[in-house]
A and B are shown apart, each in its own frame.
Chain A
């Protein structure tokens, strides 16, 4: 096949991907997008690096387009003179008075017909691809940091602030507002806070891990899944800063954690995953969250090898390099995105 043919094929392909990405992005905030939409989007993102790239770039543009709202205010501040009044100060005064009167009339009419401006949709979904991290500022002042491969939906109402963690991990710095409790719910349980900072991670869809950095939160089993909601409820667990909780329907483990441990658990917020003697198995499981590569350990004896150091999100190659150089592990690339770790010679 000639080079020319390849070029012809590639261009429309890029446009098609961008249009698909745009179709996801513009629908994402819609009410009917929901869990199904988020799952379908996640699958689409997972399918290809090019999908993720287009999605990321177009999302930036979409969010930046918010600036167009300013056009509305600008229009109000631009004075529109009649052409013959352009250079005549006397007529200009009269015209301004007329304009003011007109403005009043328009104001009254608008008030009667349209009692309020359309508000931006209060519900929104946020998704990150594998290896992507993202920070969002919610309208109430809460800051949310999404880790890799995460999906959550946010609903801010007058009396409550609700977040559903569909998958993955997120850190919340909750803006203090006692009148609007802040709840993060998931399949495995939910966390209630008024103003504090904590991380939630949904593990294997069944276990919710909560790490509290500041203040205190209340963890309850209140699944957002109808099939589980009817299950017997266990008592809420109150958790203070400096603790981690593993929570599911039949398991509530609150464990105190040292400051260093909390820092380590939350280090992903800075794009770094720190290990302090965890087994290679744990390291591989954790790093796998950030990459599409499928990493396997060929030899059982390697699994428990303690690993220390840090992994910078996105720099999977550097990790393999240190596994080889520092830990003497043999890193083998097997065809399509598969990595096999075996004992070095």
Chain B
């Protein structure tokens, strides 16, 4: 299991309190929490997180602050803050909705992927995140090509089931590929993790 995920689940109430302290009233803490998780998990996938707990708290705090700054509409101040510039959780004009939806989609998928069994998760990410071929995945994991395909297929079924359970309508997702707008109703359920 992902260490970041373990810490996330274990300290979720504390993380939520931390995030709430920094958020403007009315902003959904759950969105910010998930956003923070996505960032921390992305970093972990690259094997750079040595101390998952303080790291996750730090990322959560930065994410909340960046969100606050953006919602107040103030220009980004003197310090270079990667979180604020590169990772919007709220978007403004223009193609904003699209970016927002894509970010929601990423959060949902990250939460789905992190729950997969280890080999299944690894194969699925190598395929869908890194774009490796099944042959490359098989070599990397020391398994057969058909086993690699099976892991990825099972990953797809489980991710799908998780997303449906969370209230996402995967049909709505796919349409963005067709250049049609994704429905705003494709939102995750708000229930807490078991």
Contacts and interface: CB of A to CB of B under 8 A. Distances in A.
Interface in B140-174: 149-150, 152-154, 156-157, 159-161, 163, 170-174
A135 B154 contact: no
Interface string A94-133: 0000000000000000000000011111000000000000
Interface string A121-152: 10000000000001111000001000000000
Contacts, number: 149
Given A60-B174, A71-B110, A80-B48, A65 B136 contact: no
Identify which of B51, B59, B157, B175 gathers the most chain A CB atoms within 10 Å of its CB. Answer: B157
B46 A64 contact: no
A336 interface: no
A255 B151 CA distance: 52
A8 interface: no
B87 A77 contact: yes
A57 B171 contact: yes
B129 A26 contact: no
Nearest to A30: B134
A297 interface: no
A71 B171 contact: no
Given A30-B134, A64-B176, A71-B38, A18 B51 contact: no
A121 B130 contact: no
Contact of B105 (A57, A64, A77, A120): A64
B110 to A, nearest CB: 7
Q: How many B residues are at the interface, by size bracket? A: 35 or more
Interface residues of A, number: 47
Closest 5 CB pairs of A and B: A60-B174, A64-B173, A75-B42, A22-B153, A74-B42
A58 B155 CA distance: 11
Contacts of A120: 131
Interface of A: 15, 18-19, 22-23, 25-27, 30, 56-75, 77-83, 86, 117-121, 134-137, 143
B47 to A, nearest CB: 10
Contact of B149 (A26, A74, A79): A26
Nearest to B107: A67
A70 B157 contact: no
A120 B163 CA distance: 25
Nearest to A60: B174
A74 B105 contact: no
Contacts of A68: 106, 109-110, 113, 125, 128-129
A162 B144 CA distance: 31
B179 interface: yes
A81 B48 CA distance: 10
A135 B129 contact: no
Contacts of A70: 102, 106
B71 interface: no
Given A22-B156, A70-B102, A75-B46, A60 B54 contact: no
B82 A78 contact: yes
A78 B55 CA distance: 10
Nearest to B63: A78
Contacts of A80: 43, 48-49, 55
Given A22-B153, A81-B58, 19 more contacts: A25-B153, A58-B160, A60-B173, A61-B163, A64-B105, A65-B124, A66-B177, A67-B109, A71-B38, A71-B45, A74-B39, A74-B42, A78-B83, A82-B50, A82-B51, A118-B132, A118-B136, A121-B131, A136-B178
